[in-house]
Amino acid sequence: MNLTLNVWRQKDARTPGRFVTYAAQDISTEMSFLEMLDVVNERLIERGEDPIAFDHDCREGICGTCGVVVNGRPHGPRERTTACQLHMRSFTDGDVITIEPWRAKAFPVLKDLIVDRSGLDRVIAAGGFISAPIGSAPDANAIPVRKVFADLAMDSAACIGCGACVAACPNASAMLFTAAKVSHLGLLPQGQPERRERVLAMIAQMDAEGFGSCTNHEECQAACPKGISVETIGRLNADFLVASLGKGRREAKLGD
Ligand code: SF4
Ligand code: FES
């Protein structure tokens, strides 16, 4: 296939960026999207030009490192597919493909298609852990967990922290990400001791990072490569309400 790429090039967060057009020639339909970018970069390097900077690691859809907006859609046109698992057979000869970085105030561009997603790490650090001593591995089934909760916790734990939900949201909200992280611990017995503090701390950090509010557009769910449902946000809101009321009551008691 021969394609035309409109790629966002930007030196760093302080320098304005612009689209640059490249020809991507002799691209195999078997290549992944990132392999196609590798080929374009090899040709740029051969010509002595600066290669296109993009993030990647596992290339197996599990690490959450890759992520670009392809023709206006985070991770590209295929549902539940990360950019590294997107293959060129999803495109046709002669296509014009626009490739941009995640767009969000909380994700400043580091270079070209790479953004700084450390805001998501700080949301995790604020509460995405348990402090119970875990000791050695417990016997299987020593802690009974109802199957419905185990399944929901596993669904939430599928979040790979890619940030596509933020990129897709018109408010650049990180609610789906935060909800997944709060839910996968909050649904299990091991996550109960810090359940209330966790949700308050993670929401406060999410706001401090400059992520926007959720106004129920549900674009996050459509863009999520791991199929995290907006129902998770419902659980987050319920947990936040309970924790806020409990905090208010505790503060009122201390004030007596
Ligand atoms: S909720 Fe989905 S889109 Fe958001 S960070 Fe997790 S895996 Fe990525
Ligand atoms: S490179 Fe790891 S999920 Fe894409």
Distance 236 CA to ligand 1 centre (A): 15
d(CA 246, CA 96): 54
Given the CA of residue 85, which atom of ligand 2 is nearest to it?
4
d(CA 159, CA 175): 12
Other C-beta atoms within 10 Å of 93: how many? 9
Nearest CA to ligand 1 atom 1: 177
* Residue 16, pLDDT score: 96
* Residue 13, pLDDT score: 87
Helix (H, G, I), strand (E, B) or coil at 87: strand
Q: Is the CB of 35 under 6 A from ligand 2?
A: no
* Residue 141, pLDDT score: 80
Q: Is the CB of 57 under 6 A from ligand 2?
A: yes
Distance 224 CA to ligand 2 centre (A): 13
Ligand nearest to the CA of 55: 2
Which residues sit opposite 18 in a β-bridge? 9
Q: What angle do CA 219, 231, 104 make, to 5 degrees?
A: 35
- The tokens describing 35, both together, are 């392999």
Distance 188 CA to ligand 1 centre (A): 20
* Residue 136, pLDDT score: 82
Please give all residues whose beta carbon lies within 6 A of any atom in ligand 1, as ranges. 159-165, 176-177, 180, 223-226, 228
Distance 61 CA to ligand 2 centre (A): 4
Distance 146 CA to ligand 2 centre (A): 32
Question: Residue 107: CB partners within 8 Å, gap ≥ 6?
Answer: 101, 115, 116, 117, 119, 163, 166, 167, 172
Helix (H, G, I), strand (E, B) or coil at 23: strand
* Residue 143, pLDDT score: 86
d(CA 190, CA 201): 18
Written as one string, the DSSP assignment of 89-141 is: GGS-TT-EEEEE----TTS-EEETTEE--HHHHHHHHHH-S--S---SPPPTT
59: phi > 0 → left, psi -120 to 50 → alpha, else beta; which?
A: left
* Residue 254, pLDDT score: 58
Q: How high is the mean pLDDT in each 10-residue block of the chain (256 residues)?
A: 98 94 97 98 98 98 97 97 98 98 97 98 95 78 90 97 98 98 94 95 98 96 98 97 83 62
